[in-house]
Amino acid sequence: MKYEIYRISVFLHIFAFSIWFGGMIFISLILRPSIMRRQDYPEIIDVVARKFSKITWFFIFPVLFVSGFFNSYFRTGEINPFEWSQYAPGKIALVKFHLFILILILSALHDFKLGPKAVELMKSNANPEKFRKLSGIVGRVNFLLGIVMLILGILLVRGC
């Protein structure tokens, strides 16, 4: 029974990560370049960003946190994260946990400060370049952190 719960948790973890990471790829590589020259670009990107942000903050991040914690517990046998470092998978899990906290901080900065300010300035025909550039940098850093998390996840389950 415990193993079946673990498998469900792993599925949910991979599924949530796929939605988050795939969403970032879709928005940055497909949607944004496709609509950049449209008059209603600020409105479209605002609606898409708000919807993606809601899904991220109310579904993806909580699922990643809970399933990541449970998966680490299953792999180490320790419920206390401070004990995970005794085990090779636990060491990787702790690195992933700290990177996840960094992703949360950067995502909050991007989703609640920089992105909305850039859209607000675009809608008012002001100069949004500073906020667009900062938002883009934070988004790219989050994307790179996502790649690192993916690699660490593979190392964790396939052997360190």
- pLDDT score, position 158: 86
Task: Tell me how far apart the alpha carbons of residues 35 and 30 are, in angstroms, rounded to a whole number.
Answer: 9
Mean pLDDT for the chain? Answer: 93
Q: In this structure, what token pair is assigned to residue 121? A: 């300035």
R_g (Cα) of the chain, nearest Å: 18
Q: How many domains does the chain have?
A: 1
Looking up tokens 């690192």 gives 148
How many CB atoms are located within 10 Å of the residue 154 CB?
A: 11
- pLDDT score, position 122: 87
Q: In this structure, what token pair is assigned to residue 68? A: 């990541």
Q: Are 125 and 139 in contact (CB under 8 A)?
A: no
Task: Tell me how far apart the alpha carbons of residues 155 and 95 are, in angstroms, rounded to a whole number.
Answer: 12
Tally of residues, the chain: 160
Tens-digit pLDDT profile for residues 30-88: 999 999 899 899 999 999 999 999 999 999 999 999 999 999 999 888 888 888 888 88
Tens-digit pLDDT profile for residues 87-120: 888 899 999 999 999 999 999 999 999 999 999 9
- pLDDT score, position 160: 60
Short-list 52, 149, 143, CA closest to 94: 149
Which domain range does residue 120 map to? 2-158
- pLDDT score, position 24: 95
Which residue type does 108 have?
A
